């Protein structure tokens, strides 16, 4: 048997910060900024409020920040709540083929940083190792594991948190095996929950469970030694496919973090190409909504299946309306959470414009592609072909794009100055003597 | 689709204490006594110590007892630790075909009782409903779910805790659906972990997770509505077999708690028949170890596979030695934890006698059967055929047997008077105004 767990454990233990290429480390800071923006922007989401209401009475010492809020919780519960808030809008980062890497991982890391002082260099290093661990394990059983019904961000994400915290705790090989094993045997999360609050509970529990796994292993709480690949191990119990080489191949040279994507728009990926084209046409030609006679979209056929709501009434319905998405993009020049609010969905200019949108399928187009034609009242037409929507690997969001997204998400919680400070802390994370500065800077200051 | 989750939720909500037959309620008090004895006897087990060392710094207010110890923890962590300690010796109750019912359930109930005052009647009622829920859900996917590699005591046990606590919280139907759904999506535990400390982590996490699920549902944290039977629900994702009628059939008339078994001896079930016969022969004939020339056992063939260690050196090895088991039973007239200690395994009388034990397979014998012949130095022989080992459903442990087991397990932790008081509290549980009296009575008193 290929000793996958042992090989992975030794890699994690032996890796040094300098082994990680600069581009990968920079990508980690981009994920950090994006993740914190999502969490802060959702700090008062109903899902977060309900979870806090349920567990607040049982939390331990105020060891760690709840991102974007005044409360402090013990590190296990902070990891839980922050894992929920990062993911709840489904606006967090997405590996090109596997999991949402940050939601199950960052909350464990930043809670840990507030408990045991660690440097920014170690934070970024542990984050990179955590992403490698969770993505490789996910990809080793993908897509069969996912097709069976497992929400892979929860089920594989827990390994990332266990590995990253295990690294920071300085676990030895046996203990890191146990940490991965304790993670494996707590792995959970059903796709049946999509559409309910439990979807974001999954990365929250993964962050909490992975952190707990590493802490237990550090106290010599034992597990099976080959929890991933064993005969009755996690991979075989939860999937019909398992390719161990995906986990152990090119360790230290292939970095899954380089396949991480960030969503520029607060809705499903399939609508992004149309939004992207509309924003480009609007900005390049200074289009005014009242001057537009019609908007014609050609899209991948699945877009029509998934986002066919013609007259959305709520912000959530707006996310499943290609008509609203195109209209809000043309009116506002953006498509963040504010443009998918219930207010925006009922804005008279948006309503008028979405009724001028027609959509047709084009089987030649991929999900990330769209053709947009805007016809003006005066007869002029403007067209745009989007080959790769913004945010895809071929056309990633720039650092400036990520800053804009961060400010848009956090505007109701942080002052512009506080947002600017946190943005700077993320970009310079590796230079920080105390990585907990980042967690503390997520908390809004109140009073004079 | 059969609305299994809804039918189960309505049954739990509508059930009243008087709907439960007296024999079932008495069985609940037997399970309570047995479970608490196991937990108190393991209060200082290494597994418990390591878990406590890992989570102690993060625990919340001292709301609930750790059975058999001075520490108090928040109710979520108390449920975790007590779920571990009940199961860690594998000496807890066992449903004839499914789960260990008490380990994932009792800790949640007693922690809850210390937080919100409930009567003993409500405690016993909720326990019965919890057992029904977890056993029926387990049996609906058994044995395929277990054969795939899931430790069903953890994976199904979490539903029992969610249902029981949901009942005590007075959840409405929608909330109880959510509680079962939040339980489903946290369900975890791999058989790969058998032989490690994680085996007992599973019921601990189930107790903690089920309690958390009910608390979250009470704050309107939502899940899927048909989490058990849905297309991508728990049953279909974790098993190839699912029989919904097992869950919904004969609700209120068939009680799975009546198929609950208690282990009289601190080792695997397959050795029980031999031990049982040896103890009977010893007591009926006043046999003295030094007068015995040989002991001949006929056993089910699998016994020879599983317990073939001829010269055990440690207590744990002794549990896998039919030779030691027979000898210790003949020497001491019992086979509890003390008779499977490393001291007992190396006791000169036991060592001498186990070398006189021969074992032969008999394919006509079941696992719970054995034929024992003891030949004395003076040539007399005594024989016994055990058709149903003590502790099986056909020959259950008496209430007095359970009291003896409880006293044997708790002797190092509780004074005889304290043990007696707790025994009385269990038998009279339904009369208590405050069920938390039981949890508090598990704590040893120190000092003058």
Q: Which CATH topology does A4-262+422-440 take? A: 2-methylcitrate dehydratase PrpD (1.10.4100)
Nearest Cα of chain B lies from the Cα of A215 at a distance, in angstroms, of 6
Helical segments of A311-446, H only: 315-318, 322-332, 342-345, 348-354, 399-410, 416-427, 436-440
Say what the pLDDT of residue B306 is.
Answer: 86
What is the sign, positive or negative, of the torsion defined by CA atoms of B442, B443, B444, B448?
A: negative
> How many angstroms from the chain centroid is the CA of residue A47?
16
Angle at B265 between CA B264 and CA B268, to 5 degrees: 120
CB–CB contact A222 B149 (8 Å): no
Q: Grade residue A208 by pLDDT with cuts at 50, 70 and 90.
A: very high
- CA triple B108-B116-B132, angle to 5 deg: 40
Tens of pLDDT, residue by residue over A168-186, are 999 999 999 999 999 999 9
Write out residues in chain B with pLDDT < 50, as ranges: none
Task: Using CB atoms, pick whichever of A59, A190, A223 lies closest to residue B185.
Answer: A190
Does B341 touch chain A if contact means CB atoms closer than 8 Å? no
Provide the pLDDT for residue A21.
98
B435: distance to nearest CA of chain A, Å? 20
The CA dihedral of A77, A80, A83, A88, to the nearest 10 degrees, is -110
Q: What's the CA gap between A435 and A111, in Å, rounded?
A: 10
Q: Which residues pair with B296 in a beta bridge?
A: B358, B373
DSSP codes, B203-242: HHHHHHHHHHHHHHHHTT----SSTTTSTTSHHHHH-S--
CATH of A269-386 among 3.40.50.300, 1.20.120.140, 3.30.1330.120, 3.40.50.360: 3.30.1330.120
Q: Identify the pLDDT of residue A2.
A: 87
pLDDT mean across residues, chain A: 96
Question: Does A448 have pLDDT greater than 60?
Answer: no
- Which pLDDT value is given to residue B195? 87
> So what's the pLDDT on residue A305?
85
Residue from the list A76, A198, A233 with its beta carbon closest to the beta carbon of B223: A198
CB-nearest to B219 from A53, A215, A216 is A53
Query: Cβ–Cβ of B192/A224 closer than 8 Å?
Result: yes
DSSP helix/strand/coil, B287: coil
Q: Could you tell me whether strands B357-361 and B260-261 are parallel, antiparallel, or unpaired per DSSP bridges?
A: unpaired
> Given the structure tokens 């409500």, which residue do they identify?
B122
ipTM: 0.95
B95 and B211 Cβ atoms separated by less than 8 Å: no
Q: Judge whether B304 is closer than 8 Å to chain A, CB to CB.
A: no
pLDDT at A98: 83
User: Can you tell me the distance from the alpha carbon of A228 to that of B190, in angstroms, rounded to the nearest whole number?
Assistant: 11
- Closest approach of chain B CAs to the CA of A150, in angstroms? 7
**Per-residue pLDDT reduced to its tens digit, A348-398:** 999 999 999 999 999 999 999 999 999 999 999 999 999 999 999 999 999
DSSP string, B315-368: HHHHTTBHHHHHHHHHHHS--SGGGGSHHHHT-HHHHHHHTTEEEEE-TTS-TT
Instruction: Give B 149-168 residues with CB within 8 A of chain A.
Output: 149-151
A74 touches chain B (CB under 8 A): yes
B213: nearest Cα among B147, B277, B133: B133
Distance CA(B198)–CA(B205), nearest Å, equals: 10
Query: What pLDDT, on a 0 to 100 scale, did the predictor assign at position B174?
Result: 98
Q: Does B231 touch chain A (CB under 8 A)?
A: yes
CA dist B8 and B171 (Å) reads: 13
pLDDT in tens, B127-181: 999 999 999 999 999 999 999 999 999 999 999 999 999 999 999 999 999 999 9
Sheet holding A357-361, edge to edge: A357-361, A292-299, A370-376, A381-386
> Which chain A residue has the Cα nearest residue B181?
A193
Rounded distance between C-alpha atoms, residue A294 and residue A376, angstroms: 7
Instruction: Compute the nearest-CA separation of A216 from chain B (Å).
Output: 5
With an 8 Å Cβ cutoff, are B221 and A74 in contact? Answer: no
Q: Do A188 and B192 touch (CB under 8 A)?
A: no
- Distance to chain A for B41, nearest Cα, Å: 19
Distances, alpha carbon A274 to alpha carbons A35, A280, A288, A373, in Å: 24, 10, 18, 10
Q: In this complex, which of A51, A192, A234 lies closest to B227 when CB atoms are compared?
A: A192
- Residue ranges matching CATH 3.30.1330.120 in chain A: 269-386
Distance CA A145, CA A136 (A): 13
Query: Are residues A74 and B54, on separate chains, in Cβ contact within 8 Å?
Result: no
pLDDT band at residue A1 using 50, 70 and 90 as cut-offs? low
The secondary element (H helix, E strand) that includes residue B381 is strand B381-386
Contact B185 A197 (CB under 8 A): no
Contacts of A212 in chain B (CB under 8 A): 54-55
Residue-wise pLDDT tens digits, A16-62: 999 999 999 999 999 999 999 999 999 999 999 999 999 999 999 99
> Which pLDDT does position A445 carry in this prediction?
83
Determine the length of chain B. Answer: 448
Rounded CA separation A283/B391 (Å): 79
Contact (Cβ atoms closer than 8 angstroms) between residue A82 and residue A106: yes
Say if residue A447's pLDDT is above 60: no
Task: Name the residue of chain B whose CA is nearest to A62's CA.
Answer: B58
**Subunit contact B51:A181, Cβ cutoff 8 A:** no
DSSP strand E in A235-369: where?
260-261, 292-299, 357-361
Residue A306 pLDDT: 86
The H-assigned helical ranges of A91-156 are: 106-115, 120-141, 144-148, 152-155
Q: What does the alpha-carbon distance between residue B92 and residue B90 come to, in Å, rounded to a whole number? A: 6
Determine the pLDDT at residue B269.
86
Task: Among A205, A224, A234, select the one facing B186 at the smallest CB separation.
Answer: A205
β-pair type (A94-95, A260-261): antiparallel
Please give the pLDDT value at position B102.
98
Cβ of B181 within 8 Å of Cβ of A196? The answer is yes
pLDDT of residue A271: 94
Cα A151 from Cα A154, distance rounded (Å): 6
**Structure letter (DSSP) for residue A193:** G
A413 touches chain B (CB under 8 A): no
Residues A344, A318 contacting (CB under 8 angstroms): yes
Tell me which residue in A50, A181, A230 faces B219 most closely, judged by beta carbons.
Answer: A50
Is A233 in contact with B192 (CB distance < 8 Å)? yes
Per-residue confidence (pLDDT) for residue A304, from 0 to 100 = 87
Q: Where in chain B is the domain with CATH 1.10.4100.10?
A: 4-262+422-440
Residues B94, B117: Cα–Cα separation, whole Å: 29
Say if residues A236 and A242 touch (Cβ distance below 8 Å): yes
Has residue A206 got a pLDDT over 70? yes
In this complex, is the C-beta atom of A193 within 8 Å of any C-beta atom belonging to chain B?
yes
Question: What pLDDT, in 10s, does the model give residues A143-155?
Answer: 999 999 999 999 9
């Amino acid at each position: 048997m290929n000793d996958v767990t042992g090989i992975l454990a030794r890699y994690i233990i032996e890796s040094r910060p300098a082994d990680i290429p600069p581009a990968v480390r920079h990508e980690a800071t981009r994920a950090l900024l994006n993740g914190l923006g999502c969490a802060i922007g959702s700090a008062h989401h109903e899902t977060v409020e309900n979870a806090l209401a349920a567990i607040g009475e049982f939390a331990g010492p105020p060891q760690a920040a709840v991102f974007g809020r005044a409360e402090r919780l013990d590190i296990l519960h902070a990891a839980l709540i922050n894992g929920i808030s990062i993911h709840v809008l489904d606006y967090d980062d997405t590996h090109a083929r596997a999991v949402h890497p940050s939601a199950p991982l960052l909350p464990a890391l930043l809670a840990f940083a507030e408990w045991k002082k660690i440097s920014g260099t170690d934070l970024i290093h542990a984050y990179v190792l955590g992403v490698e661990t969770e993505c490789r394990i996910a990809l080793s059983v993908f897509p069969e594991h996912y097709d069976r019904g497992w929400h892979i961000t929860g089920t594989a994400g827990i390994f990332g948190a266990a590995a990253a915290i295990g690294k920071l705790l300085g676990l030895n090989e046996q203990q890191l095996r146990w940490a991965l094993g304790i993670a494996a045997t707590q792995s959970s999360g059903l796709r049946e929950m999509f559409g309910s609050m439990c979807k974001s509970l999954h990365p929250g529990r993964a962050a909490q469970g992975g952190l707990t796994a590493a802490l237990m292993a550090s106290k010599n709480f034992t597990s099976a030694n080959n929890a991933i690949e064993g005969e009755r191990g996690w991979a075989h119990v939860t999937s019909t496919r398992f390719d161990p080489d995906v986990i152990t191949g090119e360790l230290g040279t292939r970095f899954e973090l380089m396949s991480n994507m960030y969503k520029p728009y607060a809705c499903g990926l399939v609508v992004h190409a149309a939004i992207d084209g509309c924003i480009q046409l609007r900005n390049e030609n200074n289009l005014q909504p009242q001057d537009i006679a019609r908007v014609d979209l050609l899209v991948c056929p699945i877009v029509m299946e998934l986002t066919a709501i013609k007259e959305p009434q709520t912000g959530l319905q707006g996310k499943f309306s290609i008509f609203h998405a195109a209209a809000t993009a043309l009116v506002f020049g953006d498509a963040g959470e504010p443009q998918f609010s219930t207010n925006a969905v009922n804005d008279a200019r948006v309503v008028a414009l979405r009724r001028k949108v027609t959509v047709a399928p084009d089987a030649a187009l991929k999900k990330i592609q769209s053709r947009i034609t805007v016809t003006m009242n005066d007869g002029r037409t403007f067209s745009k072909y989007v080959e790769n929507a913004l945010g895809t690997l071929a056309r990633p969001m720039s650092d400036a794009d990520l800053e804009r997204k961060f400010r848009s998400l956090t505007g109701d919680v942080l002052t512009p100055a506080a947002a600017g400070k946190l943005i700077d802390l993320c970009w310079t994370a590796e230079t920080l003597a105390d990585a907990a500065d980042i967690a503390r800077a997520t908390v809004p200051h109140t009073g004079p």
